[in-house]
Structure 1
Amino acid sequence: MATIGIRKLRLASIRKEAAQLAITRGYSAAGGGKAKKGGKGGAADAPKASALSKELKSTTVFGANILKDGADPKISPDSDYPDWLWHLLDKRPLLSELRRKDTETLPFEDLKRFVKLDNRARIKENNAVRAKN
Protein backbone atom coordinates (compact mmCIF):
# COMPACT_ATOMS: atom_id res chain seq x y z
CA MET A 1 0.00 0.00 0.00
CA ALA A 2 2.88 2.34 0.74
CA THR A 3 4.35 1.83 -2.69
CA ILE A 4 1.07 3.03 -4.22
CA GLY A 5 1.55 6.39 -2.48
CA ILE A 6 5.10 6.68 -3.76
CA ARG A 7 3.99 5.78 -7.28
CA LYS A 8 1.35 8.52 -7.18
CA LEU A 9 3.94 11.04 -6.03
CA ARG A 10 6.23 9.99 -8.89
CA LEU A 11 3.41 10.27 -11.42
CA ALA A 12 2.55 13.73 -10.12
CA SER A 13 6.15 14.87 -10.55
CA ILE A 14 6.27 13.42 -14.09
CA ARG A 15 3.04 15.21 -15.03
CA LYS A 16 4.40 18.48 -13.64
CA GLU A 17 7.59 18.10 -15.70
CA ALA A 18 5.52 17.45 -18.82
CA ALA A 19 3.40 20.53 -18.12
CA GLN A 20 6.50 22.67 -17.65
CA LEU A 21 7.89 21.37 -20.93
CA ALA A 22 4.65 22.24 -22.74
CA ILE A 23 4.55 25.74 -21.23
CA THR A 24 8.16 26.66 -22.02
CA ARG A 25 7.97 25.49 -25.62
CA GLY A 26 7.53 28.33 -28.10
CA TYR A 27 7.77 29.19 -31.77
CA SER A 28 11.00 29.59 -33.68
CA ALA A 29 12.10 33.11 -34.50
CA ALA A 30 13.08 32.29 -38.10
CA GLY A 31 9.81 30.92 -39.37
CA GLY A 32 7.31 32.98 -37.42
CA GLY A 33 5.72 29.81 -36.09
CA LYS A 34 6.25 27.79 -39.29
CA ALA A 35 8.68 24.93 -39.84
CA LYS A 36 11.97 25.67 -41.60
CA LYS A 37 12.20 24.85 -45.29
CA GLY A 38 14.34 21.93 -46.34
CA GLY A 39 14.25 20.17 -42.98
CA LYS A 40 12.54 16.92 -42.21
CA GLY A 41 10.50 18.65 -39.51
CA GLY A 42 9.78 15.59 -37.34
CA ALA A 43 13.02 15.42 -35.37
CA ALA A 44 12.90 18.99 -34.07
CA ASP A 45 9.46 18.55 -32.50
CA ALA A 46 10.25 15.39 -30.53
CA PRO A 47 10.36 15.89 -26.74
CA LYS A 48 13.81 15.68 -25.21
CA ALA A 49 14.68 13.07 -22.63
CA SER A 50 14.72 14.19 -19.01
CA ALA A 51 18.12 15.24 -17.69
CA LEU A 52 17.25 13.88 -14.23
CA SER A 53 18.51 10.45 -13.25
CA LYS A 54 16.11 7.68 -12.27
CA GLU A 55 17.68 7.54 -8.82
CA LEU A 56 17.01 11.24 -8.23
CA LYS A 57 13.43 10.88 -9.49
CA SER A 58 12.76 8.02 -7.07
CA THR A 59 14.07 9.86 -4.00
CA THR A 60 12.70 13.41 -4.50
CA VAL A 61 9.23 14.90 -4.88
CA PHE A 62 9.69 17.43 -7.69
CA GLY A 63 7.45 20.48 -7.65
CA ALA A 64 6.44 20.19 -3.99
CA ASN A 65 8.64 23.09 -2.87
CA ILE A 66 6.59 26.19 -2.05
CA LEU A 67 9.44 28.34 -0.75
CA LYS A 68 11.49 30.67 -2.92
CA ASP A 69 14.85 29.53 -1.55
CA GLY A 70 13.81 26.03 -0.50
CA ALA A 71 14.52 22.65 -2.02
CA ASP A 72 12.20 19.86 -3.10
CA PRO A 73 11.53 17.41 -0.23
CA LYS A 74 13.03 13.95 -0.15
CA ILE A 75 10.80 10.87 -0.08
CA SER A 76 11.03 9.23 3.35
CA PRO A 77 10.39 5.59 4.22
CA ASP A 78 6.72 4.67 4.71
CA SER A 79 7.22 4.27 8.45
CA ASP A 80 7.97 8.01 8.76
CA TYR A 81 4.47 8.98 7.57
CA PRO A 82 1.36 8.88 9.81
CA ASP A 83 -1.04 5.94 9.48
CA TRP A 84 -4.02 8.10 8.47
CA LEU A 85 -2.19 9.20 5.32
CA TRP A 86 -2.53 5.76 3.74
CA HIS A 87 -6.31 5.78 4.25
CA LEU A 88 -7.09 9.12 2.59
CA LEU A 89 -8.04 7.54 -0.73
CA ASP A 90 -10.14 4.73 0.75
CA LYS A 91 -13.72 4.59 -0.53
CA ARG A 92 -16.28 5.88 1.94
CA PRO A 93 -19.93 4.81 1.89
CA LEU A 94 -22.45 6.93 -0.03
CA LEU A 95 -25.61 8.35 1.51
CA SER A 96 -27.78 5.75 -0.24
CA GLU A 97 -25.69 2.94 1.25
CA LEU A 98 -25.87 4.48 4.72
CA ARG A 99 -29.65 4.90 4.49
CA ARG A 100 -30.02 1.15 3.78
CA LYS A 101 -28.12 0.23 6.94
CA ASP A 102 -29.48 0.30 10.49
CA THR A 103 -28.32 3.52 12.18
CA GLU A 104 -28.16 1.74 15.56
CA THR A 105 -25.36 -0.55 14.36
CA LEU A 106 -23.31 1.99 12.39
CA PRO A 107 -19.81 2.82 13.65
CA PHE A 108 -19.37 6.37 14.91
CA GLU A 109 -17.48 7.59 11.80
CA ASP A 110 -20.18 6.26 9.47
CA LEU A 111 -22.94 7.71 11.65
CA LYS A 112 -21.23 11.10 11.60
CA ARG A 113 -20.94 10.89 7.81
CA PHE A 114 -24.60 9.88 7.52
CA VAL A 115 -25.76 12.92 9.52
CA LYS A 116 -23.56 15.25 7.45
CA LEU A 117 -24.71 13.89 4.09
CA ASP A 118 -28.36 13.71 5.16
CA ASN A 119 -28.32 17.35 6.29
CA ARG A 120 -26.67 18.38 3.03
CA ALA A 121 -29.34 16.53 1.01
CA ARG A 122 -32.18 18.11 3.02
CA ILE A 123 -30.73 21.60 2.53
CA LYS A 124 -30.44 21.04 -1.23
CA GLU A 125 -34.02 19.77 -1.38
CA ASN A 126 -35.35 22.76 0.59
CA ASN A 127 -33.43 25.16 -1.64
CA ALA A 128 -34.87 23.52 -4.76
CA VAL A 129 -38.42 23.80 -3.39
CA ARG A 130 -37.91 27.48 -2.52
CA ALA A 131 -36.42 28.23 -5.94
CA LYS A 132 -39.56 26.87 -7.68
CA ASN A 133 -41.88 29.22 -5.70
Structure 2
Amino acid sequence: MNGREMLVNYFRALRRVSIPKEVVGLGGCRTFSAGGGKAKKGSKGGGTADAPKESMLSKEVKSTAVVGANILKDGADPKILPDSEYPDWLSHLLDKRLALSELRRKDIETLPYEDLKRFVKLDNRARIKENNSIKAKN
Protein backbone atom coordinates (compact mmCIF):
# COMPACT_ATOMS: atom_id res chain seq x y z
CA MET A 1 0.00 0.00 0.00
CA ASN A 2 1.53 3.32 -1.04
CA GLY A 3 1.30 6.64 0.79
CA ARG A 4 -1.66 7.93 -1.21
CA GLU A 5 -3.78 4.84 -0.54
CA MET A 6 -2.97 5.08 3.17
CA LEU A 7 -4.09 8.71 3.29
CA VAL A 8 -7.33 7.98 1.43
CA ASN A 9 -8.12 5.07 3.77
CA TYR A 10 -7.35 7.28 6.76
CA PHE A 11 -9.91 9.87 5.68
CA ARG A 12 -12.53 7.27 4.86
CA ALA A 13 -12.17 6.07 8.45
CA LEU A 14 -12.45 9.63 9.77
CA ARG A 15 -15.73 10.18 7.95
CA ARG A 16 -17.31 7.43 10.05
CA VAL A 17 -16.39 9.20 13.31
CA SER A 18 -19.32 11.11 14.76
CA ILE A 19 -18.95 14.00 17.19
CA PRO A 20 -21.75 14.59 19.72
CA LYS A 21 -23.60 17.93 19.46
CA GLU A 22 -22.58 18.81 23.01
CA VAL A 23 -18.91 18.64 22.07
CA VAL A 24 -19.40 20.68 18.91
CA GLY A 25 -21.14 23.42 20.91
CA LEU A 26 -18.16 23.73 23.25
CA GLY A 27 -15.76 24.88 20.55
CA GLY A 28 -15.45 28.61 21.03
CA CYS A 29 -13.38 31.16 19.21
CA ARG A 30 -11.61 33.99 21.02
CA THR A 31 -10.86 37.07 19.00
CA PHE A 32 -9.13 40.30 19.85
CA SER A 33 -9.80 43.70 18.38
CA ALA A 34 -7.00 45.93 17.21
CA GLY A 35 -8.27 49.00 19.04
CA GLY A 36 -9.13 47.32 22.32
CA GLY A 37 -12.44 49.15 22.75
CA LYS A 38 -13.01 52.85 23.23
CA ALA A 39 -9.94 55.05 23.13
CA LYS A 40 -9.25 57.10 26.26
CA LYS A 41 -8.73 60.81 26.06
CA GLY A 42 -5.05 61.57 25.52
CA SER A 43 -4.11 57.97 24.79
CA LYS A 44 -1.30 57.10 22.41
CA GLY A 45 -3.45 54.89 20.17
CA GLY A 46 -3.21 55.13 16.42
CA GLY A 47 -5.75 57.73 15.37
CA THR A 48 -6.90 58.79 11.94
CA ALA A 49 -4.70 61.89 12.07
CA ASP A 50 -1.57 59.73 12.05
CA ALA A 51 -0.49 59.18 8.45
CA PRO A 52 2.19 56.64 7.50
CA LYS A 53 5.54 58.31 7.09
CA GLU A 54 7.29 57.98 3.77
CA SER A 55 10.54 56.09 3.56
CA MET A 56 13.79 58.04 3.42
CA LEU A 57 15.19 55.62 0.82
CA SER A 58 15.01 56.49 -2.82
CA LYS A 59 13.02 54.28 -5.17
CA GLU A 60 16.19 53.47 -7.05
CA VAL A 61 17.76 51.88 -3.96
CA LYS A 62 14.58 49.94 -3.19
CA SER A 63 14.46 48.38 -6.63
CA THR A 64 18.15 47.38 -6.82
CA ALA A 65 18.88 46.06 -3.30
CA VAL A 66 17.19 43.96 -0.64
CA VAL A 67 16.87 46.60 2.08
CA GLY A 68 17.49 45.24 5.58
CA ALA A 69 18.88 41.86 4.50
CA ASN A 70 22.44 42.69 5.53
CA ILE A 71 23.50 40.84 8.69
CA LEU A 72 27.14 41.89 8.70
CA LYS A 73 28.37 44.94 10.60
CA ASP A 74 30.44 46.34 7.71
CA GLY A 75 28.47 44.74 4.86
CA ALA A 76 26.03 46.13 2.31
CA ASP A 77 22.54 45.05 1.34
CA PRO A 78 22.58 42.34 -1.38
CA LYS A 79 21.66 43.39 -4.91
CA ILE A 80 18.47 42.09 -6.55
CA LEU A 81 19.37 39.87 -9.49
CA PRO A 82 17.25 39.12 -12.59
CA ASP A 83 14.79 36.23 -12.22
CA SER A 84 16.93 34.01 -14.47
CA GLU A 85 19.69 34.04 -11.82
CA TYR A 86 17.52 32.36 -9.16
CA PRO A 87 16.60 28.62 -9.02
CA ASP A 88 13.20 27.52 -10.34
CA TRP A 89 11.93 26.20 -6.99
CA LEU A 90 12.23 29.66 -5.43
CA SER A 91 9.32 31.08 -7.42
CA HIS A 92 7.06 28.21 -6.25
CA LEU A 93 7.35 29.44 -2.66
CA LEU A 94 5.05 32.32 -3.59
CA ASP A 95 2.30 30.07 -4.98
CA LYS A 96 -0.96 30.24 -3.03
CA ARG A 97 -2.04 26.96 -1.47
CA LEU A 98 -5.59 25.95 -0.60
CA ALA A 99 -6.87 26.49 2.92
CA LEU A 100 -8.24 23.62 5.01
CA SER A 101 -11.84 24.67 4.44
CA GLU A 102 -11.32 24.60 0.68
CA LEU A 103 -9.56 21.23 0.84
CA ARG A 104 -12.46 19.78 2.86
CA ARG A 105 -14.91 20.76 0.09
CA LYS A 106 -12.96 18.86 -2.55
CA ASP A 107 -13.12 15.14 -3.20
CA ILE A 108 -10.11 13.43 -1.60
CA GLU A 109 -10.02 10.85 -4.38
CA THR A 110 -9.14 13.52 -6.96
CA LEU A 111 -6.68 15.61 -4.92
CA PRO A 112 -3.02 15.61 -6.01
CA TYR A 113 -0.66 13.89 -3.61
CA GLU A 114 0.88 17.14 -2.30
CA ASP A 115 -2.58 18.61 -1.55
CA LEU A 116 -3.60 15.37 0.13
CA LYS A 117 -0.54 15.49 2.39
CA ARG A 118 -1.30 19.11 3.24
CA PHE A 119 -4.92 18.19 3.99
CA VAL A 120 -3.84 15.47 6.43
CA LYS A 121 -1.44 17.82 8.18
CA LEU A 122 -3.93 20.68 8.52
CA ASP A 123 -6.79 18.39 9.53
CA ASN A 124 -4.71 16.74 12.25
CA ARG A 125 -3.62 20.15 13.53
CA ALA A 126 -7.24 21.37 13.66
CA ARG A 127 -8.43 18.25 15.52
CA ILE A 128 -5.59 18.53 18.06
CA LYS A 129 -6.45 22.18 18.71
CA GLU A 130 -10.12 21.33 19.15
CA ASN A 131 -9.35 18.47 21.53
CA ASN A 132 -7.01 20.66 23.56
CA SER A 133 -9.61 23.40 23.89
CA ILE A 134 -12.23 20.87 25.03
CA LYS A 135 -9.84 19.44 27.62
CA ALA A 136 -8.89 22.91 28.84
CA LYS A 137 -12.55 23.79 29.50
CA ASN A 138 -13.13 20.67 31.62
* TM tier, smaller: 0.5 to 0.7
Return 5+ residue gaps in structure 1 as ranges.
1-46
2:26 — aligned with what? none
SS of residue matched to 1:73:
coil
How far is 1:125 from its partner?
Answer: 1.3
How far 1:48 moved relative to its partner? 9.7
**1:88, CA displacement in angstroms?**
2.4
The residue aligned with 1:126 is 131
Name the structure 2 match of 1:86: 91
| SS in structure 2 of the partner of residue 84 of structure 1 | helix
Q: TM-score, normalised to structure 1's length?
A: 0.54
The answer for the alignment partner of 1:99 in structure 2 is 104
How many percent identity over aligned positions?
80
Are residues 83 and 49 of structure 1, via their aligned partners in 2, closer, same or farther at CA, if it must alter by over 3 Å?
closer
TM-score (normalizing by structure 2): 0.53
The CA RMSD measured in Å over matched residues stands at 2.5
The unaligned stretches of length 5 or more in structure 2 are 1-52
- CA distance in structure 2 between the partners assigned to 1:48 and 1:99 by the alignment: 43
Distance (Å, rounded) in 1 between the aligned partners of 2:58 and 2:99: 43
Q: How many residues align?
A: 86
Bigger Cα Rg: 1
Name the one with the larger helix percent: 1
User: 2: CA distance between counterparts of 1:66 and 1:128?
Assistant: 40
Closer, same or farther in 2 for the Cα pair 1:53/1:118, shift >3 Å? closer
- Alignment match, 1:31: none
In the TM superposition, residue 49 of structure 1 has moved relative to its aligned partner by 9.0
Residues 1:49 and 1:107: Cα distance change in structure 2 (over 3 Å): closer
Aligned partner of 2:75 in structure 1 is 70
